[in-house]
Each structure stands twice: as structure tokens, then as C-alpha cells.
A and B are shown apart, each in its own frame.
Chain A
Amino acid sequence: MSKQLIGGVVAAAAIVVAILVGIQVFGGDDTPTTASQFQGVEEVATLVKGIPQQGAVLGDANAPVTITEFADLQCSACAAASTGVIRELITKYARTGKVRMKVRLVQIIGPDSERGALAGEAASLQSKGWQFSELILTNQGPENGGWLTDGFVEAAAEGAGLDVERWKKDFAGDAVVNTFFANTTAFQATAGSNGLSTPTFVIEGSGEKSVIQGVADISQFDAAIVKARGAN
């Protein structure tokens, strides 16, 4: 076989590979668009099953301590906290009625974060905000990687067990936008000397209030919860 022919075959193959890679890199919207493509659907459902949830609050409404998490669904530290310490907190404190946990979604990473936040607040209107956020964070892509699309959040809504039609209306409505603005204002108010970063946890009760930023160990939360409960 002539060298030219082999060269032609090699060149043609290189072009085909380049096209395939190009389609994958620039093709865009090939992120999960059905709930079955998500990981951890059952795990997340089991995590919160049986714990009362009202709006964005998970746990007993009369619990003496409240942990508020400000999270951006695109932030990788939020995903790390979500699959780690948050699951411990839910099991140890929310399930036992000692703490109520509130998730407030904000935008800090990039434009797609807003879509995630609005979608998550729409899920909270069905009292399934925690399922939704946990599911997104478990299946999170790279920051500003273009994965947090309308199709992605809709698939997550389905995976979180939401009434998808109702969720769609809420997602497009004004209520979630107002909540999102309120979250942003509250988030800015809690920002410590380190400035704004997610996740930020506010632990408060009748005692001393603490703010924990970033990925923290459960022991830091244990201590903060004791302080928040107060001296008695």
C-alpha cells in the first residue's frame, strides 16, 4: 500500500476524531435531561424521608436551633458540604428534632446560578427544596460549565419528586424572584470579614449566634449548636 494512501487514511481518521471531539465540546446541551440520568435519587429521598419539611425548612418547626445555609448550586464547596457534613447534620440534628435547617439559594459563581436558585426556591414552594438542592449538588458539573440548563433543573425537579407542572409555573413566577432577592440581601448581611462565599451557615437560637463559612467538620457545628442553644 502506498505511503500516500496510508497518509490519507491517517488524515481522514484524524478529521473524524476532531469532529467527534468538537461535537462533544461545543455541542452544549447534552447534560442530563431525564431524572433517570441523575445519581443518588433514592439516596436523597431516603435522607429526608419522614422529616417534616415546610417551605425551605427541614426539621421540627419548633426546634430550638436553626441552621440557615446560603448555597450556590454551582459552587463545588457547596457540593462537598452537601454530600458530606450536611447529610450528617440532617441525620444527627434535623431527624431528631433538635435543629431546623433552612436552605437559601443565592448566586455567587455565575449567571447559571440564578436559574438554579430560582428553580430551587420553586421546589421549596412544594416543601421539597432540600431534595432538589441535594440532587443538583450530588450531580453538579464544573463551575460555570454550562450544565445548569432548563432541561437539567427540570430533570432534577422530576427526580426530587415534585409536581413538575406546578413547579414550572412557580419557576417562571414572581414569588421565587422575590425570595431570591431576599436571600441575596440576607446573605450580604451575614457576610463576615471574609466577604461573601458559599456555603455560609448561620447557626442561631436563643443563645450565641455563629457563622461558619466553607466546608466545615461536624464538630464545628456541634460546638456552634451548643452555643446557639444558650446557657440554660
Chain B
Amino acid sequence: MGALLSTERPLRIATGVIGLLGVGITSYLLIERSRGASPVCVVGGGCSSVQKSEWAEVAGVPVALLGLIAYVALIGAALIPGQLGAAGGLFTLLVGVGFSAWLTYLEIFEIKAICTWCVASALLQVIGLGVAFLRIRAVERGPTASRAEPSPQADPLAGRE
């Protein structure tokens, strides 16, 4: 466990998995939204209220699309090793968590409806943010960690996704 949380590779994989899950959620929400009049929300009941509210867009861009872009960026950050990927992932998740916190506030106090999928995405990003901080720490310890691995691969994520 200590090795899992202190070397970069498993944390990059975790970041990639979170990105993929997020792409799934946001794509689903975008498809629901594009159906327009009769959106189906599998869990809970507030999704259509939330998706049809004035807060579901930023300057005409659906929030779900912003989420999708962020998760794709997160997958990108997972694929880039080292400091650049770690910093990129941290940035993406900080923005994601910050904006999700705002959206969750809106759901509770303004729209007064909870969209389960949006909450799931928010939680996913909080977990991702934790992973991102661990990854930053792991990158700092980089040299030690790579020496601990007997056969470092050129691209540890190749063929895994």
C-alpha cells in the first residue's frame, strides 16, 4: 500500500481510471440533455430539473460538456509522466472540484433538486484531487521511486486502456 501511494505509476493509472469514469458520466449526461424534452434519470429524480435549469450552461456551453473536456484532459494528464502530467492533473482537478462545489451549492440552494450523476462526478473529482496530491508527492520523490523499480517501462500505461 505504501508503495502504491508513493510511486507515480499506480497513481497515474488511478488518475486515468477516474478520467474514464468521468468521461462515462459526462457523456451520459450530454446524451440525456441532447434528447431534450424527455430526459431519463436512472437514479434519483432531480436530474431533469438540474439539467433544465439556467445553471446547466456556461455562456451557452452545457456544463456536462465542460466536465467531459476536463475528464479528457485528466486522461491526458495521466498519460504524461512526471511533473508536467502531475501539475496538469492537479490543475484540472482543482478547477473541477471548485466548480463542482459551486454547482452542488446551486443544486441544494438554488435549483433545490439533486442530480445524482452530478454528485457522483463531484465525488469522483474529490477522490481524483486526493490522488493528484499524492502524485505530486510521488513525483517529488521521483528518483528514489524509479530506482526502486527494477525494470521501468518507457510507457507504463501502454496497452492498458
Contact = CB atoms under 8 A, between A and B. Distances in A.
Interface string B44-55: 000011001011
A31 B99 contact: no
A147 interface: yes
Interface stretch (A33-41, A77-85, A199-207, A224-232): A33-41
B49 A20 contact: no
B52 A17 contact: no
Contact of A17 (B49, B55, B98, B110): B98
B59 A9 contact: no
A123 to B, nearest CB: 20
A27 B58 contact: yes
Interface stretch (B9-17, B18-26, B84-92): B84-92
Interface residues of B, number: 26
B36 interface: yes
Given A17-B99, A41-B37, A23 B59 contact: yes
A39 B58 contact: no
A125 to B, nearest CB: 26
B87 A5 contact: yes
Interface string A8-47: 0110111011001101100100111000111101000000
A39 B49 contact: yes
Interface in B72-113: 83, 86-87, 90-91, 94-95, 98-99, 102, 110
A6 interface: yes
B94 A13 contact: yes
Taking chain A's interface residues, is the majority helix, strand, or loop, or is none over half, making it mixed? helix
A1 interface: yes
Interface string B33-70: 00011000000000011001011011110000010000
- 9 shortest interchain CB distances as A-B pairs: A13-B94, A17-B98, A36-B36, A36-B37, A13-B95, A16-B95, A31-B54, A9-B91, A23-B59
Interface of A: 1, 5-6, 9-10, 12-14, 16-17, 20-21, 23-24, 27, 30-32, 36-39, 41, 141-142, 147
27 contacts: A1-B83, A1-B86, A1-B87, A1-B136, A1-B139, A5-B83, A5-B87, A6-B87, A9-B90, A9-B94, A13-B94, A13-B98, A14-B94, A16-B98, A17-B102, A20-B58, A20-B66, A20-B95, A20-B102, A23-B58, A24-B58, A27-B58, A30-B59, A30-B60, A32-B52, A37-B36, A37-B52
Given A1-B136, A13-B98, A36-B37, 16 more contacts: A1-B140, A9-B91, A9-B94, A13-B90, A16-B98, A20-B58, A20-B99, A20-B102, A21-B99, A24-B102, A27-B59, A30-B59, A30-B60, A31-B54, A37-B52, A147-B54
